[in-house]
Structure 1
Amino acid sequence: MDEKLSFSKYQGAGNDFILVDNRTGFFDRSDVNLVKRLCDRRFGIGADGLMLLQDIKNFDFEMVYFNADGREGTMCGNGGRCIVAFARDLGIIAERTAFLAVDGRHEAKIDEELVDLGMIDVNGTARDGAAYVIDTGSPHYIHFVQNLDNLPVYEEGYKIRNNDKYRKEGINVNFVQQESDGGYFVRTFERGVENETLACGTGATAAAMAAAVEYSLEGSLEIPIRVLGGQLYISFNRTGEQFTDVRLKGPAQFVFKGKI
């Protein structure tokens, strides 16, 4: 790409993303090196991921998500909230939207900088020893711990993500600590970024579901999830192993725009 690329930068609870309006289809989504360079924090713009907003029939837009390693990724919850804010700022939507992502249809509503995003239903959880394994649009490993502030998340997450079971496909590794207010503190090692991030929306969602199972919470629930970059709220209806009407709520904020 020789010409200049216009972009916008958004963040959701510290999870930061490059947003590109690709409704004309000019961006080469097969160019792994370009995406990787744009996401690089020293040689590019710097971000946990990059998203293309594209035209698609029967939806307001399509969300195409790339990890910082340049490869197309699975669903990103905080990215989904940020692209809703981007679509609003572009004038594509007003307060409500329905869009298509890699894991299917999502609907959302936005009020100022707060985005309430509908996530996919989850039917069943798995276990890996003491940990939970839950797919909320992306695969997550959830482990309950104590003293999370002092846990070496990069080292422990790296080991799990690269063990024999998960090395090929990768997995996001979440460490969760129960807090006194009924909420939970979550720190996440993300595949694709291959490092700890300040937030992970699908990870927070998976952690809330794991907490419901771990602590025998049933019915209509809203679970506060504190992450390094801020506060998220996860709500759903739980009946046994079924999680329906799943919502991810939190901030999505414009940071800056430019050309590169």
Structure 2
Amino acid sequence: MNITFYKYQGTGNDFVMIDNRQYNLPKNDTKTVARLCDRRFGIGADGLIFLENDESADFKMVYYNADGNQSTMCGNGGRCIVAFANYLNVIEDECRFTAIDGLHHATITNGIVKLQMQDVTKVEQHTGHLFLDTGSPHHVQIETDLDTLQIKDKGAQIRYGEPYGAVGSNVNFVSKINDNSFRVRTYERGVEDETLSCGTGVTAVAIAMNFQGETDEELIKLQSEGGPLEVSFTREQDSYTNVFLKGPAIQVFKGVIDWKH
């Protein structure tokens, strides 16, 4: 079956987007999804996202990692699907949509999407790193030199190590630029490599740096390898509410491919 797909990217984090309201494609076709995300034998992407109908919201987001498996929340993917829904005229400049971690609210203005993320009520402080869940699990640690750090090797070692094991965690390496700006490089599970940007990752970094006292600001600028993002929140003791991820979401191209080829 030939399907129409769209390629979107949010600060270099790229996704195959499919309007699944018309196709009703299967949710468990892991091999096909992995092939479509393959950069040599398919379209090429960090993940694939279905836009589907939802009775309680404007639409539903169903997200797959590049390995073909359905996964936890993807922040940049969430921003891209808002831009996609706007392109399809499913929404105008504001929306509510459901994802695997619940309901999200978002706005879009001139290609810039501001996406509400889930509240964070627990940040774990460990020796040398922090751990928190921003819709996906994230390990956060400060490094002095991100340029020479072997992200894939060190990220994989942490991702598969204790205490994360087979379930794993995304891994974020952080350096401080100034009081409200941080540089981030991220190893993503499911992609099993460094990605140019990770939305839930920069959200985790912003909250972790505030929690650890590296910044007192509640609007944090994050420089990912793929470009700048902003995270804002309200801190109430050790809980974080009104968490928003803001940045560009851009359609790269549109195409047609055989779903099963």
TM-score normalised by length of structure 1: 0.96
Q: Tell me the equivalent position of 2:19.
A: 21
Q: Tell me the equivalent position of 2:89.
A: 91
Q: Which amino acid aligns with 1:160?
A: I
Name the CA distance, whole Å, in 1 between partners of 2:100 and 2:118.
11
Name the CA distance, whole Å, in 2 between partners of 1:232 and 1:177.
15
1:177 aligns with 2:175: yes
1:64-115 Cα distance to aligned partner (Å, 9 max, x none): 0000000000000000000000000001000000000000000000011100
Query: 3-state SS of the aligned residue for 1:106?
Result: strand
1:154 aligns with 2:152: yes
Name the CA distance, whole Å, in 2 between partners of 1:149 and 1:94.
40
Query: 3-state SS of the aligned residue for 2:80?
Result: helix
Q: Tell me the equivalent position of 1:252.
A: 249
Name the CA distance, whole Å, in 1 between partners of 2:178 and 2:207.
18
Ranges in structure 2 where 5+ consecutive residues have no aligned partner:
none
Contact 1:25–1:54, Cα closer than 8 Å, also in 2: no
Q: Tell me the equivalent position of 1:75.
A: 73
Q: Tell me the equivalent position of 1:116.
A: 114
Q: Residue 181 of structure 1: CA displacement?
A: 6.0
Tell me: CA distance 1:32–1:121, structure 2 relative to 1, closer, same or farther (3 Å): same
1:155-182 Cα distance to aligned partner (Å, 9 max, x none): 1101000114212111000000000363
1:190-249 Cα distance to aligned partner (Å, 9 max, x none): 00000000000000000001110122645x710000000000000001122100000000
Q: Tell me the equivalent position of 2:228.
A: 231
Q: Which amino acid aligns with 2:193?
A: N
Q: Which amino acid aligns with 1:147?
A: D
Ranges in structure 1 where 5+ consecutive residues have no aligned partner:
none
Aligned residues: 257
TM-score normalised by length of structure 2: 0.96
Contact 1:88–1:95, Cα closer than 8 Å, also in 2: yes
Q: Which amino acid aligns with 1:12?
A: G
Name the CA distance, whole Å, in 2 between partners of 1:122 and 1:54.
27
Contact 2:180–2:215, Cα closer than 8 Å, also in 1: no
Name the CA distance, whole Å, in 2 between partners of 1:180 and 1:207.
14
Q: Residue 29 of structure 1: CA displacement?
A: 1.3
Contact 2:2–2:256, Cα closer than 8 Å, also in 1: yes
Contact 1:35–1:69, Cα closer than 8 Å, also in 2: yes
Q: Residue 128 of structure 1: CA displacement?
A: 3.4
1:4-48 Cα distance to aligned partner (Å, 9 max, x none): 121000000000000000013521111000000000000000000
Query: 3-state SS of the aligned residue for 1:123?
Result: coil
1:186 aligns with 2:181: no
Contact 1:122–1:136, Cα closer than 8 Å, also in 2: yes
Q: 2:45 aligns with which of 44, 47, 51?
A: 47
Q: Tell me the equivalent position of 1:131.
A: 129
CA RMSD of aligned residues (A): 1.2
Q: 2:213 aligns with which of 212, 215, 225?
A: 215
